[in-house]
Structure 1
Amino acid sequence: MKLPDRLPAGRVLIGVVTILLAMTAVAIASTVLALDSLGDARARSVDQVEPSGRRAKDLNRALLDQETGVRGFVLTGENDFLQPYLDGREAETEAADGVRNLVGDVNGRVSRIEQLAGQWREQYAEPTITGIRQSGPVSTPVQDIDRGKLLFDRIRGEAAALQSDIGELGRKSRDDLSHAANVVLWLVIGMGVLLVAVIGGLSLLLYRLLITPLEGLAEQVRQVASGDFRHEIDAHGPRETVMLGEDVDLMRHRIVQELATLDEAKTELQRSNSELEQFAYVASHDLQEPLRKVASFCQLLQRRYGGQLDERADQYIEFAVDGAKRMQVLINDLLAFSRVGRITREQTVIDLNELVRQVVESYSERIEETGARVEIADLPSVRGEASLLSAVFQNLLGNALKFKGDEAPVIHLDVERDGEMWKFSVHDNGIGIEPEYADRIFVIFQRLHPKDAYPGTGIGLAMCRKIVEYHGGTIWLKTDVDSGSSTGTRFEFTLPVVPELVADVEEVDV
């Protein structure tokens, strides 16, 4: 079953709830009627038929007491024997009224019993009692006794028939009670089965009408979220689901448009960067020769005419020679910076312990001069270009030695595993860097100190960032560092773990 599009989900839920309420109302009404019928059958059986049977027995007993009393009085003539007769008459009336009040006249038998009892008393009992009181206990004529016995036998027959009829009423009431109980039982079972079927059917209906469209929409959204932005979202089902699908599809269209714009901008940026790198390379490369000539001739002027001109001329020549040398260093650094990522070599697995050892040896004179202490942890092997990674450690260790404080430099090179990356840290006790310059120091040609205080071109950390990012890592300045009396500097950077090397180490450990 398919729900027409644009039908609100709230209306569907209202319809389902209405059906459930209607089914519940019908079930409750049927149960109430069945229970009421069961109660009526039980009340008739317990409160009417069974007591009427006892009343019928009381009526029969009252009639027998009357007959017994008359017989005793006939034999003895004593009034004491008439007491059962007198009490029996009162009990007869009470019992007859009780039966009539509980179950009615029962086929007219109660009335016939009262009529026959009255006839028996009128034709036999009363005349016999009167005669004995007048003449005393004498032999009663046989025909009178036979007539009295005949009359009372008819009473006995009616009393027995009354009890039989009441017994039949009892059986019928018990059958009615059993039938009502069975009706209630089957009604409850039927309602349970029906409710389960209705709830199951409505649940399936809701699943088909509401959940299935949502699952289809979610599947299409996941497809778009996975990167297939060209996939058109086609939502069906209730109005809310369709509207949600339209909103997501509208958002997809905007993303596609923005991605197209970004692709154009990225292409243009890549072209611009490529042109800039090419320009930097060509400019730095082409400037080498004229600059070399300028520096050479300035040095010749200094050697040949040094001391022959006035002091100001010697100073000017010295400025020219120093500027030419600094320009050569700057151009060489710019040339090296432009080559990172543009002129690539095959990346190999590098033992950083050996690489750092060579870097430290290159600074042996500076370390001995400053009394520095370099502490290096056991370093892992990584994949990359040895010359580029060597430049990273050279710049970081060189800066730690250059920007030292009053105390002898203490440099710590540590490493730790951070998921799929190695995190390296170079920590010193030097003059430190203010946190507000944490980003500026990685920009090319950005210096925090004048060139006469600390030499350099301001390209080292920018080179480090470009090399680290080229190898798939990141580098940053740790700003919450405090090393004793000096603030110190702590650079951290990451490089990817080589999976095959880690697997080999784990196998050896096992």
Structure 2
Amino acid sequence: MNTLRRWVLLLVVVEAIVLAAAVTGGVIGLTQLGEARMRVVDQIDPELIEQRELETSLLEQETGLRGFLLSGRVDFLTPYQEGRTQQQQSVADMRRLGAVEGTPAGADLDLVLAKAVEWQATAERMVGAPTDQTLVETGKAQFDAVRAALDSQRANLTAEREANRQTLLRSAILLTVVFAVAVALLVILFVLLALGFHRRVARPVFSLANEIRAATSDISRAIPPGDGPQELKQLAEDVEALRKRLVAETDELQRSNSDLEQFAYVASHDLQEPLRKVISFCQLLQRRYQGRLDERGEQYIAFAVDGSRRMQVLINDLLAFSRVGRGTGEFADVDMGEVVRTAIGNLEQTGADITVSELPPVRGEESLLTTMMQNLIGNAVKFRGEEPAHIEITAEPGDGEWTFSVSDNGIGIDPEYADRIFVIFQRLHPRAAYPGTGIGLAMARKIVEHHGGRIWLDTSATNGRTTFRFTLPVGEKKP
């Protein structure tokens, strides 16, 4: 099965094989290299040194014996005696280094010692009879045999050292070759896997990404399953299912918008007209029968007029709420200072002290932002306390946005209602105490979110003031 798991498994297996081969070759090469080096440095070279010491000790013995024979002086035998002592030390050292019985080095040493013992036996007789020419000739022949054994021993040790040096060289070459082959195999493997990954994984991923981008621009465009790994095919199927669901939900949303537009038309015509008639006829009744009805009758007519007018205001507010984000103009740079001034001017005489700091330009639709600020300022004026209302409007820069604050010294809002106040028709106070439709803050939230911002009640304020904060995208500052 063509899956990403299979590709990963293949990559792991092949890399494991190459790595195991490289490690095995490296271990073999390092082992041979270490053994050859130890053999040369720790055994053969010291054996050659001791072999020369042994040869020197025998030559000193022969030299001392010859001096004694020529001069007849006993003191010339001192080198002979010292040579015998040095010979014993050199033999012991060579035995310690490995020239023992059963080894080629041991056989060579035994041969040298055997020839040396024969010569030394003759030499002892020569010391007792220095004028015996026959012993002299025999001793000379025997020492020549010692020299030959020493030469053979030295030649064998030199040959063994050269053989181990060749092994050392071959091991170094083997390590170099193993490393080079491993690197070459890894490079080739990487290239092959990269090509295979690009062909079987990356290319289908890029193709799927392009199809998704195209579907983002045109949601009606179907996303093909592709020919990549099974996981990518499954991903393409999931994205296609999501696209179909989005298409269905978009169609449903369009139907809902159509129903909403129809409702707006009905609210603006079919509902408004009967309300206007009810209000008109109630006012006619009020004027025609003024003074002829009892107090309760006039009160009923007043209730009918007031209820109809409140219904008319509610319908107008609902219409305005439903139209936010639909059929509005394009965003442009808007001077928030001018927006606030317009909003204050649209409100009736507030009797409030409003402090406005220097406000920056933002990206948005001026009419909607004016409505939003008008609702926030009007809300602060409506819910004033016993003290004169004081409203403060400020702005602070952020990352690609401005954070605005509208703060007042009104009656305040309990933090537990921080989210509820932005829900349409939600009221925290009875209508008799604070009139309104319960749409103002909900509309402010919808306008801010339409501009890509956020609005919230700052519950961290500890100065007894009610503070609303909202964010808007940064606009271009006019020169």
TM-score by length of 1: 0.69
Q: 1:423 to 1:182 in 2, by over 3 A?
A: closer
Matched, 1:314 2:294: no
Q: What is the rounded CA distance, in whole Å, between the counterparts of 1:384 and 1:61 in structure 2?
A: 113
Is residue 352–residue 379 contact of structure 1 (8 Å, CA) maintained in 2?
A: yes
What's the counterpart of residue 254 of structure 1? Answer: 241
Q: What is the rounded CA distance, in whole Å, between the counterparts of 2:12 and 2:371 in structure 1?
A: 69
Q: What is the rounded CA distance, in whole Å, between the counterparts of 2:236 and 2:417 in structure 1?
A: 44
Matched, 1:401 2:401: no
Q: What is the rounded CA distance, in whole Å, between the counterparts of 2:330 and 2:16 in structure 1?
A: 70
Is residue 454–residue 470 contact of structure 2 (8 Å, CA) maintained in 1?
A: yes
Is residue 421–residue 494 contact of structure 1 (8 Å, CA) maintained in 2?
A: yes
What's the counterpart of residue 297 of structure 1? Answer: 284
1:417 to 397, 404, 407: 397
SS of structure 1 residue aligned to 2:303: helix
Q: Is there any run of 5+ residues in structure 2 with no aligned partner, and where?
A: 217-221
What's the counterpart of residue 244 of structure 1? Answer: 231
Matched, 1:29 2:28: yes
> Structure 1 residue 496: deviation in Å?
3.5
> Structure 1 residue 326: deviation in Å?
4.0
What's the counterpart of residue 16 of structure 1? Answer: 15
Q: What is the rounded CA distance, in whole Å, between the counterparts of 2:367 and 2:108 in structure 1?
A: 124
Alignment of 1:278-297 (within 5 A): 278-287=265-274, 289-297=276-284
Q: What is the rounded CA distance, in whole Å, between the counterparts of 1:6 and 1:348 in structure 2?
A: 51
What's the counterpart of residue 379 of structure 1? Answer: 359
Q: What is the rounded CA distance, in whole Å, between the counterparts of 2:312 and 2:75 in structure 1?
A: 157
Alignment of 1:318-337 (within 5 A): 318-334=302-318
Q: Deviations over 1:212-271 (max 9, x none)?
A: 8554565456556657474445465xxxxx453344234324323322332232222222
Q: Deviations over 1:63-112 (max 9, x none)?
A: 55556555666xxxxxx869959x88x959x88x9699866469989878
What letter is aligned with 2:406? Answer: V
Q: What is the rounded CA distance, in whole Å, between the counterparts of 1:82 and 1:389 in structure 2?
A: 127
Q: What is the rounded CA distance, in whole Å, between the counterparts of 2:119 and 2:184 in structure 1?
A: 64
Deviates more, 1:260-269 or 1:432-441: 432-441
Is residue 335–residue 360 contact of structure 2 (8 Å, CA) maintained in 1?
A: yes
Is residue 31–residue 187 contact of structure 1 (8 Å, CA) maintained in 2?
A: no
Q: What is the rounded CA distance, in whole Å, between the counterparts of 2:382 and 2:401 in structure 1?
A: 29
Matched, 1:497 2:478: no
> Structure 1 residue 276: deviation in Å?
1.8
Is residue 403–residue 472 contact of structure 2 (8 Å, CA) maintained in 1?
A: yes
Q: 1:40 to 1:352 in 2, by over 3 A?
A: closer
Q: What is the rounded CA distance, in whole Å, between the counterparts of 2:113 and 2:60 in structure 1?
A: 14
> Structure 1 residue 404: deviation in Å?
1.9
What's the counterpart of residue 50 of structure 2? Answer: 51
Q: What is the rounded CA distance, in whole Å, between the counterparts of 1:472 and 1:163 in structure 2?
A: 101
Q: What is the rounded CA distance, in whole Å, between the counterparts of 2:446 and 2:121 in structure 1?
A: 132
Q: What is the rounded CA distance, in whole Å, between the counterparts of 2:26 and 2:363 in structure 1?
A: 76
SS of structure 2 residue aligned to 1:424: strand
> Structure 1 residue 49: deviation in Å?
4.5
SS of structure 2 residue aligned to 1:422: strand
Deviates more, 1:104-113 or 1:29-38: 104-113
What letter is aligned with 2:373? Answer: F
> Structure 1 residue 281: deviation in Å?
1.8
Larger Rg: 1
What's the counterpart of residue 268 of structure 1? Answer: 255
Is residue 298–residue 320 contact of structure 1 (8 Å, CA) maintained in 2?
A: no
> Structure 1 residue 311: deviation in Å?
3.2
The CA RMSD measured in Å over matched residues stands at 4.8
Q: What is the rounded CA distance, in whole Å, between the counterparts of 2:450 and 2:27 in structure 1?
A: 76
Q: 1:410 to 1:181 in 2, by over 3 A?
A: same
> Structure 1 residue 274: deviation in Å?
1.9
What letter is aligned with 1:273? Answer: L
Q: 1:251 to 1:115 in 2, by over 3 A?
A: same
What's the counterpart of residue 170 of structure 2? Answer: 183
Q: What is the rounded CA distance, in whole Å, between the counterparts of 2:424 and 2:76 in structure 1?
A: 138
Q: 1:83 to 1:228 in 2, by over 3 A?
A: same
What's the counterpart of residue 76 of structure 1? Answer: none
Q: What is the rounded CA distance, in whole Å, between the counterparts of 1:400 and 1:234 in structure 2?
A: 59
> Structure 1 residue 208: deviation in Å?
5.4
Q: 1:116 to 1:405 in 2, by over 3 A?
A: closer
> Structure 1 residue 318: deviation in Å?
3.5
Matched, 1:392 2:392: no
Q: What is the rounded CA distance, in whole Å, between the counterparts of 1:446 and 1:5 in structure 2?
A: 53
Q: Deviations over 1:177-199 (max 9, x none)?
A: 54344334434433443444344
Q: What is the rounded CA distance, in whole Å, between the counterparts of 2:20 and 2:185 in structure 1?
A: 11
Q: What is the rounded CA distance, in whole Å, between the counterparts of 1:253 and 1:410 in structure 2?
A: 56
SS of structure 1 residue aligned to 2:405: strand
Alignment of 1:54-203 (within 5 A): 54-63=53-62, 65-66=64-65, 69=68, 104=107, 129=129, 154-155=141-142, 157-158=144-145, 161-162=148-149, 164-166=151-153, 168-169=155-156, 171-176=158-163, 178-203=165-190
Is residue 48–residue 158 contact of structure 2 (8 Å, CA) maintained in 1?
A: no
TM-score by length of 2: 0.73
Report how many aligned residue pairs link the two structures: 459
Is residue 45–residue 170 contact of structure 1 (8 Å, CA) maintained in 2?
A: yes
> Structure 1 residue 463: deviation in Å?
4.3
Q: Identity over the aligned pairs, expressed in percent? A: 29
Alignment of 1:359-378 (within 5 A): 359-361=343-345, 365-367=349-351, 372-378=352-358
Q: Is there any run of 5+ residues in structure 1 with no aligned partner, and where?
A: 74-79, 133-139, 237-241, 506-510
Deviates more, 1:190-199 or 1:98-107: 98-107
Q: What is the rounded CA distance, in whole Å, between the counterparts of 1:394 and 1:330 in structure 2?
A: 17
> Structure 1 residue 410: deviation in Å?
1.5
What letter is aligned with 2:474? Answer: V
